[in-house]
Amino acid sequence: MRIIALVGLMGSGKSQVGQALARRLGWTFADTDAEIEARDGRSIPAIFRESGEADFRAVERAVVRGITKRRRMVVATGGGAVLSAASRRLLYEAGPVFYLRVPVEVLAGRLGADPGRPLLGDDSYAALERLSAERETLYADRTIPVDAAAPVDRIVDEILGYLADARRRVRVDLGPRTYEVRVGIGALALLGVDLHGLGARGRVAVVTHRALARRFGEDVTAALEAAGFAPHVMAVPMGERAKSLQQAGRLYDALAEAGLARIDTVAALGGGVVGDLAGFVAGTYMRGVRLVHLPTTLLAQIDSSIGGKAAVNHPRAKNLIGVFHQPALVVADVETLRSLPPRERQAGLAEAVKYAMVLDAELFGVLEGQENAAARRWSAQQAEEIVFRCASLKARVVETDEFEEGPREVLNYGHTVGHAIEAALAGRYVHGEAVAIGIRVEGQVAVRLGLLASEEARRQDALLARLGLPVSLPPGPAGPLLDAMRLDKKRRDGRIRCTLPEGIGRARLGVEVSETLLGEVIHACQESS
C-alpha cells in the first residue's frame, strides 16, 4: 500500500477528504489537478480552452504515472482520471482506491455554476447527470465505495475503518491477556489508530536498531504523531549482543529519561532479537508496561512475536533470563519483508515448514504449490497468506499452553538439533538455516524410529531445498553437536528428547532419542554423505 487514491465526480469532496485522511495517517497529500497546473504552468480551464481535453488527459496520465511511484501519500484524482485504463491500473496496483459517491443533486448544489469547471457548461445539473452515467462503471470498478454526502470526519472514519478491517486478524485468546495479530500489506500505517483502539495514550518508546530506524522509523513515528502520541525512538545494537542485561539497563535509563509511565507503551520494531529485548524490558520496567510488537522479519511475524516469551542472554546460556509478557497487539506489515536481505528472508521459511510438518498438512501443500518458491520472489499477497496461516497456528498453540508447560513443545521440531548447530557452529548459519538442517536431521530420526514414512521425509527435504534452505551439515565429528544438545533446555532426566513428526501435519512430543542414533543420523546428513 504505497498510496491511497480517491476517485469520484467533481464536487465529491476528494480534496477535503484526502487532506483530512492524510492528517490522520501522518501521510502527505497530493491533488492531481494541482500537480497538472504546476507541471503545465496554466490553470485547468486554460489548458482545456487553449489545448483541448485530449492534451489535458495526456498530462493527467503522466501525473498519475508519477504520483503512483511515491509512497505514504493520499491522492485526490481529477474526476476524469478514471477514463484512462492505464491510470486505473496504476492506481489499483499502488494501493486501495476509494470511490467518493455523491448524488447528482448534492453535487449540483455544491458546485453551482463554477467557471473553474470547464466540463460543466451552462447547465451543471445536466452535465453532472451525463458525466455520472458515463463514468459510474469506471468509478465502481475495483474500488471501495464510500458515501461522500456525509461530513468529512465521518467519511475519513469510514475509510480508516475499512483499512483496519481489510487486514487479516488472528485472535490469541488468553482471557484478560487476549490480543490480536493484524496481518496486512501496509499495516503499519494504521498503528496510531490501532493504539487508540487499545485505549493507549501518551508516550510510545519505539525500540529498534539504527538500520530499521532509517527504513521504517519515519513511517512509525508519523503514524504515532498523527494520532497524538509522543514517540521516542530508542536504537539498540544489531545482533545477539543486544540481548544482554547491560543493554536492558540502558533501555531502562532511556525509558526513565523519556518519562515513560505504566500507562505508556513500548513498541518493538524489528526481528526476534529486538522483540526479545524490548519484550523483556517491557515486562520488567515498572513491573510491566504495554507492549506492541511490530515484527519486520518473516521469522518474527510468524513465530517469535506471538506468545509472550522474552529473554536476554547470559554468559552461561542463551535466553537464560526471561519473562512471559504478552503483547497487547502484534502488527505484521508484510511490506517490511521486502527490505530484508535475501538470506534472512529465506531463513524465515524454515519455521513455516516446521508448522506445516507438525500441525497443518494443508499448509504443507500450500508451500509445495507456491509458483515462486523462494521468498524473495513472493508477491505481497503470497507473503500475507503464509504469515496469516502460520500466525493462526502459533496462536492456537499458545492458547493451549501459554507458559510452556507441555503442549507448546510441538513447536520444538527441528530446534533441538538446530540450536545445537547454532551453538557448535557459531556464525556459520543464521537461525532459520540451522532450524532447516535440524528439521532434516530430526525428520530422519523419525524415519529411523518408524514414526515418519520415508516418502514423507523426502517430500519434506525436497520442500526445504526448493525454498532455498540448507539441508546438509558440513563434514566433521558429531561430538560438538551432541555436547550442545546435552545442555539443551528441552533435555530431561539427562536424556535428549525431541518433537518428531508422525506424518505431515501431526507430531509426537517428548520422544527420547539416544545419542547413538543422533550421531548416526548426523553423519548421514553431512555434505559428504
Sheet of 329-333: strand order equals 168-172, 179-184, 329-333, 290-295, 265-270, 203-208, 230-235
How confident is the model over 466-478, as pLDDT tens digits? 999 999 999 888 8
Q: Which of 404, 502, 515, 520 is catalytic?
A: 404
How confident is the model over 62-71, as pLDDT tens digits? 999 999 999 9
CA-wise closest residue to 97 among 75, 66, 70? 75
Q: Which of 354, 415, 440, 497 is catalytic?
A: 415
Q: Is the dihedral of CA 320, 324, 327, 332 positive or negative?
A: positive
Q: Which of 287, 316, 371, 405 is catalytic?
A: 287
pLDDT at 426: 85
Tell me which of 340, 363, 386 is where a domain ends.
340
- For β-strands 3-7 and 73-76, DSSP reports them as parallel
How confident is the model over 281-323, as pLDDT tens digits? 999 999 999 999 999 999 999 999 999 999 999 887 778 899 9
- ∠ CA 430-435-440, nearest 5°, is 130
Q: How confident is the model at residue 493 (pLDDT cuts 50, 70, 90)?
A: low
How confident is the model over 154-184, as pLDDT tens digits? 999 999 999 999 999 999 999 999 999 999 9
Q: Which of 72, 88, 117, 431 is catalytic?
A: 431
257-274: average pLDDT? 97
Q: Alpha-carbon distance 40 to 62, whole Å?
A: 11
How confident is the model over 243-259, as pLDDT tens digits? 999 999 999 999 999 99
Is 426 or 103 the better-scoring residue by pLDDT?
Answer: 103
Kindly state whether residues 181 and 258 are assigned to the same domain.
Answer: yes
- Residue located via cell numbers 521459511: 349
Q: Which of 14, 203, 325, 419 is catalytic?
A: 419
Q: Which of 412, 433, 440, 497 is catalytic?
A: 412
Three cell numbers written together for 273: 532479537
Q: Alpha-carbon distance 489 to 517, whole Å?
A: 20
Q: Alpha-carbon distance 17 to 161, whole Å?
A: 14
Number of C-beta neighbours around residue 430 at 10 A: 18
CB 526 within 8 A of CB 472: yes
Q: Total structural domains in the chain? A: 3
Three cell numbers written together for 143: 474500488
Three cell numbers written together for 206: 519505539
Residues in the chain: 529
pLDDT of residue 337 exceeding 90, the answer is: yes
CATH number at residue 479: 1.20.1090.10
Q: Is 93 a catalytic residue?
A: no
pLDDT of residue 87 exceeding 80, the answer is: yes
Kindly state whether residues 479 and 420 are assigned to the same domain.
Answer: yes
CA dist 246 to 162, 269, 277, 340, Å? 43, 20, 11, 28
131-141: average pLDDT? 94
pLDDT of residue 381 exceeding 70, the answer is: yes
Domain span holding position 517: 407-524
Q: How confident is the model at residue 127 (pLDDT cuts 50, 70, 90)?
A: confident
Residue 367 domain-assigned (yes or no): no
How confident is the model over 202-241, as pLDDT tens digits? 999 999 999 999 999 999 999 999 999 999 999 999 988 8
pLDDT at 114: 59
Partners of 331 in beta bridges: 182
Direct distance between the N- and C-terminal alpha carbons of the chain, in angstroms, rounded to an integer:
47
Q: Is 351 a catalytic residue?
A: yes
- Above pLDDT 70, what percent of the chain? 95
Q: Alpha-carbon distance 458 to 524, whole Å?
A: 14
Q: Is 377 a catalytic residue?
A: no
pTM, full prediction: 0.91
Residue 347 domain-assigned (yes or no): no
Q: Which of 24, 182, 408, 440 is catalytic?
A: 408
Q: Is 419 a catalytic residue?
A: yes
Q: How confident is the model at residue 376 (pLDDT cuts 50, 70, 90)?
A: low
Q: Is 287 a catalytic residue?
A: yes
Partners of 382 in beta bridges: none
Tell me which of 143, 164, 185 is where a domain ends.
164
39-57: average pLDDT? 92
Q: Is 402 a catalytic residue?
A: no
Residue 378 domain-assigned (yes or no): no
pLDDT at 427: 86
Residue 376 domain-assigned (yes or no): no
Residue 299 domain-assigned (yes or no): yes
Kindly state whether residues 291 and 325 are assigned to the same domain.
Answer: yes
Q: Is 368 a catalytic residue?
A: no
Q: Is 431 a catalytic residue?
A: yes
Q: Is 319 a catalytic residue?
A: no
